[in-house]
């Protein structure tokens, strides 16, 4: 099943968690004085939507400093500000879709140049990943795994385990992207002989 099909079938919990996970992977490393986990409060609300609007406000406020320094953090903060205040599937679906595109765009910006035939982030979501770089392909797979994980753990018994799995997948993806960005930054600052 393609990523777009999974987004179309996901429930409120799946949409909220996949959206938060996408934004979480895009965040730059925190600087001194920043909240090291500014979206933590949102993760706690993904299961039932408890105080969803208040949690969005807290995450939005926590990213103020980072957004002033970093363009990607500003994009994440913009999406937090645009998130639906109610925990309903229809508006959350549009928001999760926008979060998915942002995560793929951020990965594409850091990816190995894929040449003139490279697909756009939107094209990569329709099924398969020919023409997408390795970072985008990995992110696409991660988003699919997250939505499949959440779909397979509905109800009170599996809900917490499903969200823990999503958090683990997202943390792994964030480490991968940050490592690539760090290597690129070191490569740009290395003196040439």
Confidence of residue 189 (pLDDT cuts 50, 70, 90): low
Q: Using the 8-state DSSP alphabet, how is residue 26 labeled?
A: H
Q: Which of 55, 53, 59 is nearest to 23 (CA)?
A: 59
* % pLDDT > 90, the chain: 61
Q: Which two tokens stand for residue 169?
A: 């997948």
- Break the chain into its structural domains and give their ranges: 3-189
| Residues whose CB falls within 8 Å of the CB of residue 58, separated by 6 or more in sequence, listed in order | 41
- Tell me, what's the pLDDT at 132? 82
Local confidence band at 118 (pLDDT 50, 70, 90 cut-offs): low
Query: Which one, of 64, 53, 71, 62, lies nearest residue 16 by Cα?
Result: 53
Confidence of residue 156 (pLDDT cuts 50, 70, 90): very low
102-116 b/e with 16+ CB inside 10 Å = b? bbbbbbbebbeebee
pLDDT digits (tens, 9 = 90+) for 10-33: 999 999 999 999 999 999 989 888
The residue to which tokens 């740009």 are assigned:
188
Task: Summarize pLDDT for 26-75 with one digit per residue, the tens.
Answer: 999 898 888 889 999 999 899 899 999 999 999 999 999 999 999 999 99
- 126 has a pLDDT exceeding 80: no
pLDDT of residue 99: 97
What is the reported pTM? 0.88
Mean pLDDT of all residues in 138-150: 94
């Amino acid at each position: 099943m393609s990523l777009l099909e999974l987004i179309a079938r996901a429930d409120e919990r799946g949409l909220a968690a996949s959206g938060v996970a996408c934004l979480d992977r895009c965040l730059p490393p925190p600087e001194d004085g920043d909240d090291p986990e500014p979206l933590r409060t949102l993760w706690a609300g993904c299961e039932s939507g408890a105080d969803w609007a208040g949690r969005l406000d807290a995450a939005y406020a926590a990213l103020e400093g980072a957004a002033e320094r970093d363009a990607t953090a500003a994009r994440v903060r913009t999406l937090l500000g645009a998130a639906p205040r109610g925990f309903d599937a229809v508006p959350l679906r549009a928001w999760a879709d926008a979060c998915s595109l942002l995560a793929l765009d951020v990965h594409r910006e850091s990816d190995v140049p894929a040449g003139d035939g490279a697909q756009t982030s939107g094209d990569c979501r329709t099924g398969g990943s020919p023409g997408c770089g390795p970072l985008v392909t990995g992110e696409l797979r991660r988003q699919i795994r997250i939505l499949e994980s959440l779909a397979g753990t509905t109800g009170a018994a599996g809900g917490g385990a499903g969200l823990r799995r999503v958090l683990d997948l997202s943390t792994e993806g964030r480490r991968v992207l940050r490592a690539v960005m760090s290597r690129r930054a070191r490569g740009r600052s290395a003196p040439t002989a």
